[in-house]
Amino acid sequence: MTLEIKHLTHWYTDRDHKLYEDVNLTFESGRFYAIVGESGSGKTTLLSFLAGLDEPREGDILVDGVSIKEIGLTKFRQKYVSTIFQAYNLLNTMTAFQNVQTALAITGSIHAKDKAYILDQLARVGIDEEKAHKNVQRLSGGEQQRVAIVRALLVDAPIVAADEATGNLDHENSQKIVDLFAELAHEFGKTVILITHDRDVASRADEQLLLQNHVFEPI
Amino acid sequence: MNFVKRAGITLWARKGRSLLLVLTSTVILVFVMAGLIIQNAALTAANNAANAVGSTVSLSANREKMFEQMKASQSSASSTSNSETKPTAITMPTATVKQVKKIAALANVSSYNITNNASVNANSFKAVTTTTTSNAMGGGPMGGENNSGDIQVNGVSLTAATSSFTDGSAKITSGRGIKASDQGTNNVVIESELASANKVKVGQTITVKTTADDAKTVKLTVVGIYKVKTATDGFQRNDPSNTIYGSYTLANTINGTENVASNVTFTMAEPAKTTAFVKAAKKYIDTDKLTLTSDASQYKTAAANMKNVAAFASKIVWLVSIAGILILGLIIILITRERRREIGVLVALGESKPKVVAQLFTELLAILIVALGIATAAGNGVSGVIGKQLVQQQTTQQMQSANGGLPGGGAGQNGGPGGGQKPSGNMGGGPMGTRGGMTKTAELQTAMTPVAVAELGGVAFLIAVLSVSGAAFSILRMRPKQILQAD
Ligand SMILES: Nc1ncnc2c1ncn2[C@@H]1O[C@H](COP(=O)(O)OP(=O)(O)O)[C@@H](O)[C@H]1O
Ligand SMILES: [Mg+2]
């Protein structure tokens, strides 16, 4: 599966202050990409387009040549991409377990009713059963982020997009997460796009892109 | 159905918020319910009034015309100075039983009661005497042919349809009342005080003497004893215990008349068609001599008053419902804004916005169902209080109007139709004397509860739909990107 960005041009309020101009990028499945760039350069904005949460002013995003608008943004979000944000990823009224389960139910995953499987996967990132049944607001920021990552990894989406997913984690935990991302790309054949400011994390990717001066340059 | 589960989890996780919403909704629904209860009760009362108040038309002598004639004859008499030999010997015109039967055959007559009166003297027994008894009291009744006897015979078709029995001032205590089958017999019902004073029991016979010059003795069979609530007002010519009830044919026999129906009360099946009935019935009578009096105007006033209350109550229902929708709607919108992130996460996960709205709707519906339960439970208390108040008001007015005198009450009762009791208050006064007001009003409470609950459920549903649509509008406009951005 190929994910393409075609002629992407975007600005928020001022047409003369464009975030990007005529950007063309291709992401292949089975590969792990890292996007780096200065704060405010437009990394999160790009992710919002890739996650089908927003639409660019100009240009299009295509999956195997089909525009995601044609697929339908809701369906695209549900079936094609799973996203991890910088903050506020979880449903505050629920436990870690319920958060994962809810996501699986929405996306129609076969694992939605597999309690043991969900707990297993949470345990892999250090969320034991006791923590899994706590309301997520009682977990630390890092733990919350790990729950969000597990959730994104478990839904069967071919694209995984993460925004500063390791930002709140210590070195050891962030290494574990990066291992997971790499595994998803290399063993499960997913397209993994990771936004980070951490050069160490970025260096683990198959390809690194630097967003600078309104364009993406390979490093 | 995933959203239903999420709704449940959210409601449970935000217990405080849920409880607050339940309380707010309960308060709103109790107000709505109070309005609905008043509305239903007022409508029921209006129907009761329609059935109870204005359902009679009475046929009696046209007194106005008679007075005119009397005056004319008096003045002519004095002018010829033929003077006092024949003072005011006028006979009151009466209808015939034949006429009555023709009128009764008209549409809309559910029943009728003929009342004839006669005056006799006690023969085999003694009349009850009271301290206030005095024949000196002027302005005697106009109804009787003779009023010199000490016993009053009230001839009726049915005692059960006679005003003093229907309004509760008289009650059969042993034996039975006068029925249609008593026509042509000498069966009577006597008052308990008269009976005990003379040691008369049901089944025994008594005799009376007519007041005519050639006084005849009439044998009467006592088939029942009634008790009258002593409402002696001092102006009564006779002790009420001296009233004997018999068939109207008995009064005719005593008076030496035949087929006379001096007073008839027709009970309407549909009070609204009273006017049409009167118009049709007038064709059978000589309106110079007889008159038909309906209390339709009072029924109309009473019914209109109650319909006003119902209309007012329905305005309250609307006002409170709209206020409730606004209050809950605003709360829901505020809460929804607070829940932007939660909604954003759901949308980012690929949940469709309509399902997010459905979740909010489910949550509010669950809250309103709980509130509805509480409001209904509380409403039983509320309805009890309101119901009692209404019943009380109605019965007091019934009593007042019953004392005020119903049309066709026979001799001795002062006041014409309506008795000067203007319908007062909201719940419509006016005479409601006939036909078991108590049983009618007792229905009031029970009959409205399921209706009120169903209507309340409808209002609750409406509140849920409208409140959530406000929030839905903002959700559907939300861009998940904006929602999920860090502050
Ligand atoms: N919704 C928005 N409306 C207007 N300007 C925005 C909006 N979102 C982001 N921006 C601006 O666009 C630029 C890029 O933001 P963002 O994509 O979040 O950058 P990054 O993630 O690289 O730090 C910033 O200058 C930011 O202020
Ligand atoms: Mg960013």
Chain A residue numbers touching B484 (CB-CB < 8 A): 53, 85, 87-88
pLDDT digits (tens, 9 = 90+) for A115-152: 999 999 999 888 999 999 999 999 988 888 889 888 88
Domain residue ranges of chain B, discontinuous segments joined by +: 3-52+302-417+430-486, 55-76+91-295
What's the complex ipTM?
0.87
- How many angstroms separate the first and last alpha carbons of chain A? 23
Q: Do B350 and A106 touch (CB under 8 A)?
A: yes
Answer whether 0.80 is exceeded by the pTM. no
Instruction: List, edge to edge, every strand of the sheet that includes A2-10.
Output: A20-28, A2-10, A58-63, A66-67
Of A126-140, B76-90, B97-111, B329-343, where does mean pLDDT reach its minimum?
Answer: B76-90
Nearest CA owner, ligand 1 atom 27: A40
State pLDDT tens for residues A38-55: 888 899 899 989 989 889
Q: What is the arithmetic mean of pLDDT over A209-214?
A: 90
pLDDT of residue B249: 92
Which of the four pLDDT bands, split at 50, 70 and 90, describes residue B427?
Answer: very low
Residue pair B3/B359 in contact by the 8 Å Cβ criterion: yes
Q: Are strands A32-37 and B56-61 parallel, antiparallel or unpaired?
A: unpaired
Question: For A6-21, what is each residue's pLDDT tens digit?
Answer: 999 999 998 998 999 9
Which ligand places an atom closest to the C-alpha of A40? 1
- Which residues have C-beta within 8 Å of that of residue B274, sequence separation ≥ 6? B54, B55, B57, B108, B268, B294, B296, B299
Cβ distance B479 to A54 less than 8 Å, yes or no, reads yes
CATH 3.30.420.40 fits A30-45+71-218, yes or no: no
CB A157 within 8 A of CB A81: yes
Looking at per-residue pLDDT, the higher value among B82 and B324 belongs to B324
Where exactly are the structural domains of chain A? 30-45+71-218
Residue A151 C-alpha, separation from nearest chain B C-alpha, in angstroms: 10
The alpha carbon of A147 and the centre of ligand 2 are apart by a number of angstroms equal to 20
Question: What residues have CB less than 8 Å from B327, skipping those under 6 apart?
Answer: B24, B28
In this complex, is the C-beta atom of A94 within 8 Å of any C-beta atom belonging to chain B? yes
Residue with the nearest Cα to atom 10 of ligand 1?
A: A12
**Least confident residue range of A66-75, A172-181, B394-403:** B394-403
pLDDT attached to residue B430: 34
pLDDT digits (tens, 9 = 90+) for B126-145: 988 865 444 444 444 444 44
The pLDDT-based confidence of B439 (bands split at 50, 70, 90) is: very low
Q: Grade residue B389 by pLDDT with cuts at 50, 70 and 90.
A: low
Count CA atoms within 13 Å of residue A186 on its CB side: 9
Which residues of chain A have a CB within 8 Å of the CB of B351? 74, 78, 106
Q: Residue B425 has what DSSP assignment?
A: S
| pLDDT value at residue B414 | 33
pLDDT digits (tens, 9 = 90+) for B146-194: 456 889 999 999 998 888 888 888 999 999 999 999 999 999 999 999 9
Q: How far is the CA of A43 from the centre of ligand 2 (A)?
A: 5
Lowest mean pLDDT among A65-69, A166-170, B16-20, B95-99: A166-170
The span from the CA of B374 to the CA of B369, in Å, is 9
